[in-house]
Structure 1
Amino acid sequence: MLKEWRHRRAVQRVKPGDGRPLKRFRWWQNFSRGLFYLPLAADGGRQTVYAVDVREDKSSGEKKGHLYLDGRHHAESKLPAVFPVQGGTVEVKASTFGLKRCHYVTAEGAERQLAPDPRSAEGKRARLHRRHPTLSRWVGGVAVFVLVVSLAVLLLQLLEQVTRADGLGQHTGVFTSPVELSAWANTAIGFGAAVASTERALRLRYHWLLDGGAG
């Protein structure tokens, strides 16, 4: 019920576009813009191409999704967004480090991820996976390992702080974390977690505990 309500509300937020042309992706936009494509077969054998352009709104600071149809601005919405398209919807959701979802969902419930622009950071990461799948899996595995370690360290430190609170430790006992890190080590772990979450965001991978904790 809650999911359906959020879906309807997201659809209602969609505003019509102004018809402006889609601008080419530039190399300096790698970490400020996301651009994805969805080609669909239309009537008469013609192909329709939707594009989702995600940027930060300069006035509000919020991330916005812009839907283009055959190169023209068709609709826009703040994220999370649900854009009605031919045969279904395109769902776009942001995370702290990028996007966690940019998928085409058909009326029957089938879904697939949109293809990133080859010049974008997401496109370059997808190309690495196609050309070097083994290396890609290793990189993804290392990212998960770093996030698990950083989450474990965070939970241990948090538990120690909570049990040292006035009055609580008298009833539960004071927990002492077996891992004691210096300030620079904590900073390094935090930086590693941010890099790992960014790597996962480039593949639109997201887990509420791992990536949410890192953000």
Structure 2
Amino acid sequence: MFTELRRRRALERVKPGNGRPLKRFRWWQHLSRALYSIRLDGDLYTVDVPLWRRLTTEDGKASAHLYVNGRHYAESKLPALFEVPGGTIEVKPSSFGLKRSHYVTGDGAERQLTPDPASAEGRRARLAAEHPVLSGAIGGLSLLVLVVSLALLLMQLAEKLSQIPPVAEQVGTFTSFVTLTGWANFALGVAAAVASTERALRLRYSRILDGS
């Protein structure tokens, strides 16, 4: 949710659209574009986020584009907040995609927008609907990978810090019971990135796990 100050700043960032038509989702855009929609008062509101633009902007931030019935209506730098009938649409990024794409009513009730069926998010949602047990297992594995990665990272960090002379003199040294090679650390980092990407497809985010 947006605080009141962030809410005002987000609304100030919104710019009017140019009316261009919404382009359909392409298969090669699975990890570079997020596309979510919701129908309000008979109109279709679609949020289009070209995630790849984070690599081409000076501040590393992408923009969210709001389309109404397939026409470009507004745009804003992320995190974005768009006023729509009955409330607002909130869009917040994470390092691996989006962590929020929700419709929030005036009384605080919220509903997640529906991902485009052709997108990676849409395919992940279909897997959850058609194979809930498998989906739960994949989600649990992603969570486990992140927990283990964080635990190993903290142990290695504690070992390094304890070797600093002033720290060693005060609290002694700590030796991690798990020693990883450079390749093992690289593989662990890749596994954590994949796990966070899988969670981003479901708009799951933890500041401690996914943010670290």
The answer to whether structure 1 residue 190 and structure 2 residue 189 are counterparts is yes
Deviating beyond 4 angstroms after TM superposition, the runs of 4 or more aligned structure 1 residues are 58-61
The 5 Å alignment of 1:13-24 reads: 13-24=13-24
Distance in 2 (alpha carbons) for counterparts of 1:145 and 1:19: 45
The answer to whether structure 1 residue 49 and structure 2 residue 48 are counterparts is no
1:21 is paired with a residue whose SS is coil
Q: How many residues align?
A: 207
1:53 is paired with a residue whose SS is strand
Aligned to 2:148: 149
Distance in 2 (alpha carbons) for counterparts of 1:7 and 1:176: 46
1:169 is paired with a residue whose SS is helix
Distance in 1 (alpha carbons) for counterparts of 2:161 and 2:6: 35
Aligned to 2:110: 111
Aligned to 2:27: 27
* Worse overlay, 25-34 or 61-70: 61-70
One-letter amino acid of the structure 1 residue matched with residue 122 of structure 2: G
Distance in 2 (alpha carbons) for counterparts of 1:104 and 1:139: 27
Structure 1 residue 166: Cα displacement: 2.9
Q: Decide whether aligned partners of structure 1 residues 14 and 136 sit closer, same or farther in structure 2, where only a CA change above 3 A counts.
A: same
Distance in 2 (alpha carbons) for counterparts of 1:12 and 1:162: 44
Structure 1 residue 181: Cα displacement: 1.2
One-letter amino acid of the structure 2 residue matched with residue 10 of structure 1: A
Structure 1 residue 54: Cα displacement: 0.2
Q: Decide whether aligned partners of structure 1 residues 59 and 148 sit closer, same or farther in structure 2, where only a CA change above 3 A counts.
A: closer
Distance in 1 (alpha carbons) for counterparts of 2:136 and 2:158: 33
Distance in 2 (alpha carbons) for counterparts of 1:176 and 1:10: 46
Structure 2 residue ranges without an equivalent (≥5) = none
Q: Percent identity?
A: 60
Distance in 1 (alpha carbons) for counterparts of 2:62 and 2:168: 43
Distance in 2 (alpha carbons) for counterparts of 1:165 and 1:119: 52
Structure 1 residue 120: Cα displacement: 0.4
1:212 is paired with a residue whose SS is coil
Aligned to 2:170: 171
Distance in 2 (alpha carbons) for counterparts of 1:192 and 1:179: 17
Structure 1 residue 59: Cα displacement: 5.1
Distance in 2 (alpha carbons) for counterparts of 1:204 and 1:80: 14
* Worse overlay, 122-131 or 175-184: 175-184
TM-score (norm 1): 0.93
One-letter amino acid of the structure 2 residue matched with residue 16 of structure 1: P
TM-score (norm 2): 0.95
Structure 1 residue 169: Cα displacement: 0.9
Deviations 1:159-184 (A, max 9, x none): 11111113211111111111111111
Aligned to 1:44: none
Structure 1 residue ranges without an equivalent (≥5) = 42-46
Aligned to 1:90: 89
2:210 is paired with a residue whose SS is helix
1:92 is paired with a residue whose SS is strand
